[in-house]
């Protein structure tokens, strides 16, 4: 496997692996990405719907969008890409920094997952500090909090800052890894798209797994133009052989 020549020689000293993942890693689990036709819901641009403005303009519509995504996600299973990342924990310290709100990394067995943009099973009050998890659909939407204000999905919308405790931890993990594998993300959205820079500053090996070019392909040590479910199991076999 020529493409792995690069890390084959380093493999012994790869102790800390950090994965930065996006919608592409769940694409083979039947979850649409944010790009192109996938990024449209009822002809609404996902990037426009995932904003506090859209929520206050039409909370019912935004709830319907998240309810539909939640139903789709609850019916989805982790794919070979998610499973390979979980299995690599046998060979090194593995941390997953994901932009996905679908929880499939955890479902695949990954033990250290930081959800940079929140989770589709979490909700919070738009005013008071009430937080909870939802397992079943709300009868009426938008659902109200006991304080009388409307509840919202506990995800990070555009224009909103990431949970600082999680973001600071993500920067530390990225700054201390030996190998960073960037799988299934276009690296368009900030600040998540700055994580490879922290790893590069630590002279980590940067590998990109994506059928298409991304914002930072030129910064990578190795680019694998293939899907994550096809490629990531090959990393497991490489570690097994060594």
Q: Which residues bind Zn ion (CB under 5 A)?
A: 125, 128, 130, 145, 147, 149
According to CB under 6 A, which one of 22, 78, 103, 196 is a site residue for ligand BV8? 22
Task: Specify the pairing of strand 93-98 against strand 113-115.
Answer: parallel
The least distance separating ligand BV8 from the CB of residue 153, rounded to whole angstroms, comes to 7
By beta carbon distance, the residue nearest ligand BV8 is: 24
Which of Zn ion, ligand BV8, none interacts with 227 (beta carbon under 5 to 8 A by kind)?
ligand BV8
- Phi, psi values for residue 64, rounded to 5°: -60, -40
The least distance separating Zn ion from the CB of residue 124, rounded to whole angstroms, comes to 8
- Tell me the two tokens of residue 98: 């994901």
Of 59 and 211, the one with the shorter C-beta distance to Zn ion is 59
- Distance from C-alpha of 151 to C-alpha of 125, rounded to nearest angstrom: 4
Of 93 and 158, the one with the shorter C-beta distance to ligand BV8 is 158
- Phi, psi values for residue 96, rounded to 5°: -110, 120
Q: Any contact of residue 189 with ligand BV8 (CB under 6 A)?
A: yes
Cα–Cα nearest to 26, from 178, 227, 237: 227
According to CB under 6 A, which one of 188, 194, 197, 237 is a site residue for ligand BV8? 188
According to CB under 6 A, which one of 70, 82, 83, 117 is a site residue for ligand BV8? 117
- Distance from C-alpha of 134 to C-alpha of 197, rounded to nearest angstrom: 36
- Per-residue contact track with ligand BV8, 47 to 86, x per CB under 6 A? x--x------------------------------------
Segment 144 to 163, residues that bind ligand BV8, using CB under 6 A: 155-161
- 80-87 and 228-241 helices cross at what angle (nearest 10)? 30
Cβ atoms 18, 12 nearer than 8 A? no
Which of Zn ion, ligand BV8, none interacts with 130 (beta carbon under 5 to 8 A by kind)?
Zn ion
DSSP result, 72-122: HHHT----HHHHHHHHGGGTSEEEEEE---S-HHHHTT-S-EEETTEEEEE
- Point out which residues bind ligand BV8 (CB under 6 A): 22-24, 27-28, 33-35, 47, 50, 99, 101, 117, 155-161, 183-186, 188-192, 209-212, 214, 227-228
């Amino acid at each position: 496997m020529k493409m792995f020549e690069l890390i084959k020689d380093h493999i012994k000293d790869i102790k800390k692996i950090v994965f930065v993942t996006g919608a592409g890693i769940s694409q083979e689990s039947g979850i649409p990405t944010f790009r192109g036709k996938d990024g449209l819901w009822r002809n609404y641009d996902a990037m426009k719907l995932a904003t506090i403005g859209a929520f206050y303009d039409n909370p019912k519509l935004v709830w319907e969008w998240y309810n539909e995504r939640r139903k789709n996600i609850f019916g989805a299973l982790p794919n070979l890409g998610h499973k390979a990342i979980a299995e690599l924990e046998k060979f090194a310290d593995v941390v997953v920094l994901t932009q996905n709100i679908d929880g499939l990394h955890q479902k695949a067995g990954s033990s250290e997952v930081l959800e940079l943009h929140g989770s589709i099973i979490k909700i919070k009050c738009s005013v008071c500090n009430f937080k909870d998890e939802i397992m079943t659909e709300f009868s009426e939407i938008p659902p109200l909090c006991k304080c009388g204000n409307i509840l919202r999905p506990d995800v990070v919308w555009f224009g909103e800052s990431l949970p600082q405790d999680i973001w600071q931890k993500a920067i530390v993990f990225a700054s201390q890894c030996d190998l960073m594998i960037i799988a299934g993300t276009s690296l368009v959205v900030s600040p998540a798209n700055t994580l490879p820079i922290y790893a590069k500053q630590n002279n980590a090996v940067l590998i990109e797994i994506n059928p298409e070019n991304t914002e930072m392909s030129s910064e990578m040590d190795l680019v694998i133009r293939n899907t994550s479910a096809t490629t990531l199991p090959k990393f497991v076999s490489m570690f097994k052989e060594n």
